[in-house]
Chain A
Amino acid sequence: MAQKKVIDARGTFCPGPLMELIANIKLVNVGDELEVLSTDQGSQSDIPEWVNKVGHQMVSTTEQNGVWHIVVRKAK
């Protein structure tokens, strides 16, 4: 059964939300989802760019009270 893991990268500068996603996606199974919480405005564009380039799937991108919730599904 597919799992969902939350990566709370709010307020972290290094390695940052996208690098955390790249590290964590190696640790989950194909079909699992990762929700990245980020206060970095750039995450709304750089995470989808990487996800699309490498061949995973974007599930959703929402913003709530200054926090981006970006959900990605591991596709391969």
Chain B
Amino acid sequence: MRILIVGGGMGGTILANNLARRLKNELKTGKVKITMLSASDKHMYQPGLLYVALGRMATDELYRDQASLLEPGIEFQVDPVEEFHLDKNQVKTKGGKTHSYDLIAIATGSRPVPEAIPGFAENSINCYTEAAALKFHKTISEFKGGRVVIAVGVPHKCPMIPPEVTFTLYDYFKDRGMLDKVSFHYTYPIGRLHSLEPVSNWMKGEFAARNITTETLFNIKEIDGAKKVIRSEEGSEAKFDLLVAVPAHKGMEVIEKNNLGKGGWIPVDKLRLTIEGRTNAFALGDTTNIPISKAGSTAHFEAEALAENLASIVKIGSPVRDYDGKVFCFIEAGKDRATYAMFNYNNPPDPKPPTKSIHWFKMAYNQLYWASARGLL
């Protein structure tokens, strides 16, 4: 049986490794072949970008060679897919190769689209790419004071970034003795401070203690760099001296070009991750249209469920479990305190007061991630 995994990010990598261990014997005997096609020979730890932006992590710490993360027996090729022919169980790559498969899992991820908003790229900072994180750090290190405005595009990857970037930037300026020169104004697209109501309620108190002002129902329409004003779809505006703006995201272009899903998001069954109308094609991670957080942990837990199911399809002919919607997100509440939100389709999160120990666990996880990617944690 030929299993094809398209995408070498967190979801694709955990899926491949978990699957390879479950199918160790089948791989040895040649009954199963696992192939991964990726656009890059490098694997980036994307959550590290926040720390690069704050000057607390070097860019080379973000990367490992993708091949070094994969279990022996997985065939890895740096050759991105350009054409999906799901009716024929085939894909065609940029390099011109055609790969046939029996089972396919698509984990191509998402991408920020700052160009969707006039003035966005030129007049704001964010931490969603290496270049953006470096620009972020340069900008804040040269900032002399003024009004910092946080704004959030929809949809976006990592829903904890808006509070995290606010809390950590506050502490960054506090450590530099600048709080008398800096004020914070936090805006958010819906009618509270965070998608998760318990997180929003917790943020209220934390923001009040820091004199951070807020405005909700604020969706970015345009940014006027000359006047240093950001305007919302709802008709309001906010003046800024420094604008931290989370860019809206889309799925990858190759998904849209192949008509697999509007916006680059592939419609899937939220429990089995099967692509709508298919029985042997799956998607996971940011790639899906499931109304759930676009986050590394979502991809991680989906990959574990999908690996078990694909292995079961090989061994007994059918999947055995559902993905329960599990998500676990750390929330940095400053430079040295953190909390977390854990939830699934049936149970809302219940964030606890932040502690130093959770922050240090997050610091440890920044290194443990590589064990996660190998499917060991």
Contacts and interface: CB of A to CB of B under 8 A. Distances in A.
Interface in B136-160: 154-155, 159
Given A53-B235, A54-B219, A15 B293 contact: yes
Contacts, number: 75
B190 A19 contact: yes
B273 interface: no
Contacts of B159: 14-15
Interface in B309-353: 325, 327, 341, 343, 345-346, 348-349
Given A46-B190, A49-B191, A50-B217, A15 B234 contact: no
A54 B291 contact: no
B292 interface: yes
B65 interface: no
Contacts of A63: none
Contacts of B189: 18-19, 22
Contact of B155 (A11, A19, A42, A53): A19
A62 interface: no
Nearest to B192: A46
B191 to A, nearest CB: 4
A17 B217 CA distance: 14
In the complex, which range does the number of interface residues on chain B fall in?
Answer: 20 to 34
B259 interface: no
Interface residues of A, number: 23
Interface in B261-303: 262-263, 270, 291-293
B254 interface: no
A7 B292 CA distance: 12
Interface core residue of A8, A23, A54 (most chain B CB under 10 Å): A23
B98 interface: no
Interface in B161-199: 189-191, 195-197
Contact of B349 (A8, A13, A22, A42): A13
Given A54-B233, A54-B234, A14 B292 contact: yes
Nearest to B116: A26
A7 B291 CA distance: 8
A16 interface: yes
A9 B263 contact: no
A50 to B, nearest CB: 6
Given A14-B159, A15-B291, A23 B154 contact: yes
Contacts of B235: 53
Contact of B195 (A11, A15, A26, A54): A15
Contacts of A54: 219, 233-234
A56 to B, nearest CB: 10
Contacts of B233: 54
Nearest to B234: A53
A66 to B, nearest CB: 14
Contact of A19 (B195, B234, B348): B195
Given A16-B190, A22-B190, A50-B190, A11 B345 contact: yes
Interface in A1-58: 7-9, 11-20, 22-23, 26-27, 42, 46, 49-50, 53-54
A16 B159 CA distance: 11
Contacts of A16: 190, 195-196, 291
B155 A23 contact: yes
B195 A14 contact: yes
B345 A14 contact: no
B151 to A, nearest CB: 14
Given A11-B325, A13-B196, 18 more contacts: A11-B346, A12-B292, A13-B349, A14-B195, A14-B292, A14-B327, A15-B159, A16-B190, A16-B196, A18-B191, A19-B189, A19-B190, A23-B155, A23-B263, A26-B263, A42-B197, A46-B191, A54-B233
6 contacts: A11-B345, A13-B349, A15-B155, A19-B155, A26-B263, A54-B234
Interface of A: 7-9, 11-20, 22-23, 26-27, 42, 46, 49-50, 53-54
Interface of B: 154-155, 159, 189-191, 195-197, 217, 219, 233-235, 248, 262-263, 270, 291-293, 325, 327, 341, 343, 345-346, 348-349
